[in-house]
Chains A and B, each alone.
Chain A
Amino acid sequence: MAPLDGAMIHDITGPLAVRKFYEMGGKKVFDPERVILLFDHQIPADSIEAAENHICLRKFAAEQKIHNYDINEGVCHQVVLEKGRAAPGEIIVGADSHTCMYGAVGAFATGIGSTDMGFALKSGALYFKVPETIQATVTGKFQRRVGAKDLILSIAADIGADGATYKAIEFTGKTISNLDMPGRMTCCNMAIEMGAKAGIVAPDKRTWEYMKGRRKMKPFDLESDPDAKSAEKRSYDVSGLEPQVAVPHNVDTGLAVSKLTGTHIDQVFIGSCTNGRFEDLKEAAEVLGRKKFSPKVRTIIIPASRDEYMKTLRAGLIEKFVKAGALVEAPCCGPCMGGAFGLIAPGEVSLSTSNRNFKGRQGSTEGKVYLSSPATAAASAIRGVITDPREV
């Protein structure tokens, strides 16, 4: 079994993990300082049951002397990274499938279920099969209004929804070196959408720059061994890449936006751990310019964390979004998992910057969800139909 450097639980998967921890005979967690606990899926509590789940975790945090971020900080994965709770070379598990996002800082991070988490909390270790690696080498310069989300949607379409099952995807190449940390987070976040156990980018100058002030540690070299064997090597050139949109009801369906322009939409959601960072919202604001969001669609914008919210607020973008007709909510998962607010009705269509468009993911199983970048989502919210962000 592998030793763990961190374990993350939230309001949906946490209560069961806590119960399993005690059922297994757990008394004290392996290290309270390595347990990350927060609420993000159903906040502020949207039902009595959710409020009770929050109480269960608050009690656990107090008993175990675990720092509780409670409802105050935002979406778990963003918070873990910005608080420096994941670092290069670490092994981290989270009771949430998008835990693979921490690969953006060169950590091996993977999503697990609640019983696994109970075991992890008790023993500080977990059983793993060492994954093979798919090396995805990315080259070329993005066109204007094309970025990390378009890249990862196109990679998902290429590898397929189960093409990376039980494997790790290493993102490498010139384009990845030039990609900012938020972009790397977007890519690693969606590794699970190909079935991957982890997504990872070897730490470099940008990584260590990001870690500064978040975690006291000296930079060290960490990269794949020169003689490491990959199960597969795939290459991507982004020079000609168009903005991508994944169509209902699978993530590996990315198409060029030009094939979908004019598609009816009822709701646009810009946010989530995939695309709710300041840089994402800034891009959306740039596309917006002085225009307004279409009154025909409901535009919901949710910064991924308190920090990202504050950056967005200070830059004047919250006011801009609200004036343009958007609903800006406090940091949380929002409509992404279809368990809180922002649900869609039968026959309705959502365009979302989040990570999944499964049937029923954002409400009715008779609704549809498309996935895109923040730029495409903003352009579409302005026109009221799916729109190429390069045309707005």
Chain B
Amino acid sequence: MRVWKFGDDIDTDAIIPGRFLTTYDPKELAKHAFEGTRNEFLREARDGDIIVGGRNFGCGSSREHAPLALLGAGVKVVVVRSFARIFFRNAINVGVLPVVCKDAEKIADGVEVRVNLKAGYIESGGRQFTIEPAPEFMQGIIDAGWLVAYAKNLKEVPVCTRSQL
């Protein structure tokens, strides 16, 4: 699992540019992932590779094509300092695990890492960095096998009333 290291404010236009959004097939999208901003990614990314980034990863457009493009490229885990809100939800909904690690910036590009979700750390070059657990509700969706499976299993949608909000 090699690390593809990115900086702060990586927006969803960079992950998958607007002109490629006519399809939602992950494999097709992956052919254009980071096109123009990091072309070697689409050539060299391998199944199981990990993206590591800084603050506000996935900011901008709500396009779910962004996590889908990563999924198509074989990326199933994104470890960053912080996520933009919509990307975080989209990632969990489609099956890319978004992991928050305050020390993500200390992990170098191109290195091999091991993510131990159970123990809550990521290991790189003999060093261990703590990762934050997903919010409880989100963990439920992850455990169910992402949102489509979660929705299928849901017998009744627990809707609250206005006054409970």
Q: Are A358 and B11 in contact (CB under 8 A)?
A: yes
Given contacts A2-B160, A96-B62, contact A116 B93 (CB under 8 A): yes
Residue numbers in A under 8 Å from B161 (CB-CB): 3
Closest to B81 in A: A162
Tell me which residues across on chain B come within 8 A of A52, comparing CB atoms.
22
User: Are B56 and A162 neighbours in the complex by a CB distance under 8 Å?
Assistant: yes
Please determine whether A130 and B82 come into contact, CB atoms closer than 8 angstroms: no
Q: B126 within 8 Å of A by Cβ?
A: no
Chain A, Cβ-Cβ closest to B141: A127
Q: Are A97 and B60 in contact (CB under 8 A)?
A: yes
* CB proximity to A under 8 Å, residues B22-77: 22-24, 35-37, 55-56, 59-65
- Out of B17, B24, B86, name the residue touching A112 (CB < 8 Å): B86
B64 and A161 within 8 A (CB): no
Known A25-B151, A127-B137, A338-B13; judge A114-B64 contact (CB<8 A). Answer: yes
- Are B90's CB and A130's CB within 8 A? no
Q: Are the C-beta atoms of B59 and A195 separated by less than 8 Å? A: yes
Of B14, B90, B147, B160, which is in contact with the most chain A CB atoms at under 10 Å from its CB?
B147
Question: Does B59 lie within 8 Å of A162, measured CB to CB?
Answer: yes
Chain A residue at smallest Cβ distance from B93 = A115
Chain A residues within an 8 Å CB radius of B62: 13, 95-97, 99, 111-113
Task: Determine the main DSSP class of B at the interface with A.
Answer: loop
Of the candidates B13, B19, B152, B159, the one whose C-beta lies within 8 Å of that of A24 is: B152
Interface string of A250-269 (1 = CB under 8 A from B): 10000000000000000000
How many chain-B residues does the 8 Å CB contact rule pick out? 45
In the assembled complex, the Cα of A116 lies from the Cα of B159 at a distance in Å of: 15
Answer whether residue A183 sits at the interface, using C-beta atoms and an 8 A cutoff: no
A12, B90: Cβ atoms under 8 Å? no
Is A165's CB under 8 angstroms from B36's CB? no
Q: Decide: B17 and A165 in contact? CB cutoff 8 A.
A: no
Binary interface profile of A, 352-391, with partner B (CB < 8 Å = 1, else 0)?
A: 0000101111001110000000000000000000000000
Q: Is there contact, CB below 8 Å, between A24 and B148?
A: yes
B114, CB-defined interface residue at 8 Å: no
Known: A113-B64, A115-B64. A338 touches B59 (CB 8 A): no
Q: B103 at interface (Cβ–Cβ under 8 A)?
A: no
Distance from A162 Cβ to chain B, minimum over Cβ atoms (Å): 4
A52 CB to closest chain B CB (Å) equals 8
- From A122, A124, A165, give the contact of B56 (CB < 8 A): A165
Mark A110-135 against chain B: 1 for CB-CB distance below 8 A, else 0: 01111110110011110101100000
Q: How far is the CA of A361 from the CA of B137 in the complex (A)?
A: 34
Contacts of A1 in B (CB 8 A): 157-160
From A111, which residue of chain B is reached at the shortest CB distance?
B62
Residue B106 is within 8 A (CB to CB) of chain A in the complex: no
B160, A162: Cβ atoms under 8 Å?
no
Q: Which of A124-167 contact B (CB under 8 A)?
A: 124-125, 127, 129-130, 161-162, 165-166
Interface of chain A: mostly helix, strand, loop or mixed: loop
Give min CB distance, A250 to chain B, whole Å: 6
A273-303, CB < 8 A from B: none
Chain A residues positioned under 8 Å from B56 (CB to CB): 161-162, 165, 195
- Give the chain A neighbours of B24 by CB distance below 8 A: 15-16, 19, 114
A337 sits at the interface (CB 8 A): yes
Cβ A113 vs Cβ B90 within 8 A: yes
Residue from the set B18, B24, B86, B162 with the largest chain A CB neighbour count within 10 Å: B18
Q: Name the residue on B nearest A163 (C-beta).
A: B56
A165 touches B90 (CB 8 A): no
Is there a chain A Cβ closer than 8 Å to B1's Cβ?
Answer: no
Interface membership of B9, Cβ < 8 A:
yes
Given the complex, which residues of B lie within 8 Å of A50, measured CB to CB?
A: 22
Those of A1-34 within 8 Å (CB) of chain B = 1-3, 12-13, 15-16, 19-20, 23-25
Question: A25: which B residues are within 8 A, CB to CB?
Answer: 151-152
A239 touches B (CB below 8 Å): no
Does chain B have a CB within 8 A of A49?
yes
**Alpha-carbon separation in the docked complex, A361 to B21 (Å):** 13
Q: Which residue of chain A has the shortest Cβ distance to B10 in the bound complex?
A: A358
Are A3 and B160 within 8 A (Cβ)? Answer: yes
B165, CB-defined interface residue at 8 Å: yes
Q: Which single residue of chain B is at the shortest CB-CB distance from A160?
A: B56
Q: List 19 A-B contacts (CB under 8 A).
A: A16-B24, A97-B61, A97-B62, A111-B86, A112-B62, A113-B94, A115-B94, A124-B157, A125-B157, A162-B9, A162-B55, A165-B85, A250-B9, A338-B17, A338-B18, A356-B11, A361-B18, A365-B36, A366-B36
Known: A12-B63, A111-B62. 15 other contacts (CB 8 A): A1-B158, A113-B94, A115-B90, A115-B93, A123-B151, A123-B157, A161-B56, A165-B84, A338-B18, A359-B13, A359-B14, A360-B36, A360-B37, A365-B37, A366-B36
Spell out B's residues near A (CB within 8 Å): 9, 11, 13-14, 17-19, 21-24, 35-37, 55-56, 59-65, 82, 84-86, 89-90, 93-94, 135, 137, 146-148, 151-152, 157-162, 165
